[in-house]
């Protein structure tokens, strides 16, 4: 009986493994590549927890599931929707939070060394990886087709305050967060979304349920990511409505919580705009409020 159960479990795990996953080393840095020959787009995904002692191990001991917090649905949906994935492993010389320029230099050399070329390249990540990818993208936006960040902190080292958002006008930019994240409240991303949306129509903000974990993004949430990245959803309007807007339709309006303004002395102007928008849109749209207290 035990042997039979183990056989079923092994078969299930084997079936769940992404296609063609390879641990590779380039310039003393290691990364996982997930690829299908039919895919012509790429997402570079940067993991969170830069200072986690787990990443001090030999790269061969660092599992692919750990890099995405066991969110196999993200890996599977990426491959199914035509995206290869490169997932670098941080180390003392590859730190996208503190040295985004060095990380970009590595990624650029890595792309040049590969025989496979891509029609579009996106960069993204979760937590520290989201913050690092934000820095890398806005330092060299012309290299990427877009940005996909989850639970990021754009204000790290005062980075976002230095940006000229008007220089980005034709990219796919996705800001995703979770409603109960107490590590990086979602309002820190929502603020940057509002600024970028004014010059780049295809900028999106989306809230999932849960706390500060990439594992909280379920198949439905990730389907929204790839609906946008594959061009099935396109926004043309630049009004910074503080909610999830898809095909120029407001799907869900989110609150900017007053307690965030009080606690961090942050975002008063965005909060005031949020209050006004709720008065305008609440009668016609779903509003997440109880789940974000």
**pLDDT computed for residue 129 by the predictor:** 99
**pLDDT computed for residue 3 by the predictor:** 38
**pLDDT computed for residue 189 by the predictor:** 99
Helices (H), 29-174: 64-67, 72-80, 100-113, 128-139
**pLDDT computed for residue 251 by the predictor:** 94
Measured CA to CA in angstroms, residue 292 lies from 175, 198, 259 at distances of: 17, 25, 11
pLDDT tens readout for residues 130-153: 999 999 999 999 999 999 999 999
- Structure pTM? 0.91
**pLDDT computed for residue 14 by the predictor:** 36
**pLDDT computed for residue 15 by the predictor:** 37
**pLDDT computed for residue 291 by the predictor:** 44
**pLDDT computed for residue 292 by the predictor:** 47
Q: Rounded CA gap, 66 and 70, in Å?
A: 6
Residues of the chain with pLDDT under 50: 1-19, 288-293
Pairing of strands 249-253, 243-246: antiparallel
CATH T-level topology, domain 22-253: Rossmann fold (3.40.50)
**pLDDT computed for residue 90 by the predictor:** 98
Q: Tell me how many degrees the CA angle 235-236-237 measures, rounded to the nearest 5.
A: 100
**pLDDT computed for residue 20 by the predictor:** 56
Q: Rounded CA gap, 292 and 182, in Å?
A: 10
**pLDDT computed for residue 290 by the predictor:** 41
* C-beta separation of 286 from 278 below 8 A: no
For residue 13 the two structure tokens come to 């795990």
Q: Rounded CA gap, 147 and 138, in Å?
A: 9
Q: Rounded CA gap, 230 and 197, in Å?
A: 19
């Amino acid at each position: 009986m035990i042997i039979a159960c183990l056989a079923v479990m092994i078969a299930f795990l084997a079936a769940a493994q992404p296609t063609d996953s390879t641990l590779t080393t380039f310039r003393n840095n290691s990364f996982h590549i997930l690829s299908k020959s039919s895919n012509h787009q790429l997402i570079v995904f940067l993991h969170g927890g830069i200072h986690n002692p787990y990443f001090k191990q030999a790269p061969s001991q660092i599992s692919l599931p750990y890099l995405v917090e066991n969110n196999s649905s993200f890996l599977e949906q990426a491959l199914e929707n035509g995206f290869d994935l490169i997932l670098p492993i941080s180390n003392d010389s590859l730190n996208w939070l503190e040295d985004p320029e060095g990380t970009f230099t590595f990624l650029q050399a890595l792309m040049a060394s590969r025989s496979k070329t891509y029609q579009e390249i996106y960069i993204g990540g979760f937590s520290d990886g989201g913050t690092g990818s934000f820095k890398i993208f806005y330092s060299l936006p012309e290299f990427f087709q877009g940005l996909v960040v989850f639970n990021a902190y754009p204000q790290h080292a005062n980075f976002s305050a230095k940006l000229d958002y008007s220089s980005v006008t034709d990219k796919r930019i996705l800001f995703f967060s979770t409603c109960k994240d107490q590590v990086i409240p979602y309002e820190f991303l929502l603020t940057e979304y509002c600024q970028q949306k004014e010059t780049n129509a295809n900028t999106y903000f989306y809230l999932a349920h849960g706390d500060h974990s990439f594992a909280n993004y379920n198949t439905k949430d990730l389907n929204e990511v790839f609906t946008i990245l594959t061009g099935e959803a396109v926004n043309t309007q630049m009004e910074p409505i503080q909610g999830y807007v898809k095909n120029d339709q407001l799907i869900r309006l989110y609150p900017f919580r007053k307690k965030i303004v009080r606690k961090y002395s942050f975002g008063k102007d965005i909060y005031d705009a949020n209050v006004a928008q709720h008065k305008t849109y609440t009668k016609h749209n779903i509003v997440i409020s109880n789940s974000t207290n």
